[in-house]
């Protein structure tokens, strides 16, 4: 009996938090981060203001929880790609494309966060965060697989992994700032190509060389 009561309470809390987080996203989309207040969130979610403070001590903590809830599904999907069965180079390409497309699918919410900079982190703080380090570790492992398969040059995999993530984040920021960012697939291919092959033009001799069978 006590277990069932506890489960119902947990389910209600999850439902309540989800309603509050959805309300935050709607307010951010309409009014931006400056227009977000605990009073507006409570009214939008249909709960008492005091209920918000049961779960969140202030607006910053509420925003952080919404950001985490929005990022968690993407993180799970990207980890699945990196841990999957594709060859290393294809993993990198698929990772970049899905990372970019996720932010396009949730464009308005992430544009608000980018423009208002209410949740902006310094690069150092981001690189010290647990999710960032996990991405680095997983991508570094993919790069090591590529080195063993002789598909990738033997560079420092941890540093290269961090560079890839930062390049991906920079591309996401540019796409969010543009009204018409263009094709996700084209940008993903460009980023992957630049990252894997560099930006130097191939020499005529190299360009004329037929591809290996």
CATH number of the domain to which 70 belongs = 1.10.357.10
Same domain as 71, residue 46: no
The total of structural domains in the chain comes to 2
10, 33, 56 — which closes off a domain? 56
Residue 10, domain CATH: 1.10.10.60
The Cα–Cα gap between 66 and 206 comes to 50
Q: Do 83 and 139 share a domain, yes or no?
A: yes
pTM as predicted? 0.77
**CA proximity to 98, closest of 76, 73, 74:** 74
Residue 45 is assigned to a structural domain of this protein: yes
What pLDDT does 144 receive?
97
Instruction: Specify the pLDDT at position 100.
Output: 95
Nearest residue to 169 (alpha-carbon basis) of 84, 102, 73, 90: 102
The residues of the chain scoring below 50 in pLDDT are 118-120, 122, 207-213
- Each residue's pLDDT tens digit, 98-116: 999 999 988 877 877 665 5
Do 46 and 80 lie in a common domain?
no
75 and 177 assigned to the same domain: yes
> Per the domain annotation, does 114 fall within a domain?
yes
Domain that holds residue 45: 1-56
Judge residue 76's burial from the number of C-beta atoms within 10 Å of its C-beta, 0-12 exposed, 13-18 middle, 19 or more buried. exposed
Do 6 and 38 have their domain in common?
A: yes
- Are 138 and 99 in a shared domain? yes
């Amino acid at each position: 009996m006590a277990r069932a009561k506890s489960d119902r309470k947990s389910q209600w809390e999850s439902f309540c938090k989800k309603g509050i987080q959805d309300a935050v996203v709607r307010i951010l989309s309409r009014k931006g981060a400056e227009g977000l207040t605990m009073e507006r969130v409570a009214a939008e979610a249909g709960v008492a203001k005091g209920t918000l403070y049961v779960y969140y001590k202030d607006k910053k903590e509420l925003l952080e929880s919404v950001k985490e809830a929005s990022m968690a599904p993407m993180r799970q999907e990207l980890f699945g790609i990196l841990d999957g069965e594709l060859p290393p180079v294809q993993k990198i390409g698929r990772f970049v494309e899905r990372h970019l497309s996720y932010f396009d699918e949730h464009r308005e919410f992430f544009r608000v966060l980018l423009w208002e900079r209410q949740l902006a982190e310094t690069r150092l703080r981001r690189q010290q965060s647990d999710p960032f380090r996990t991405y680095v570790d997983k991508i570094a492992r993919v790069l090591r697989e590529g080195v063993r398969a002789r598909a990738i040059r033997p560079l420092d995999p941890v540093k290269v992994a961090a560079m890839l993530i930062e390049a991906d984040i920079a591309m996401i920021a540019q796409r969010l700032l543009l009204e018409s960012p263009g094709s996700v697939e084209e940008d993903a291919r460009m980023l992957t190509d630049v990252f894997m092959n560099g930006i130097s033009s191939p020499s005529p001799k190299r360009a004329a060389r037929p591809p290996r069978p």
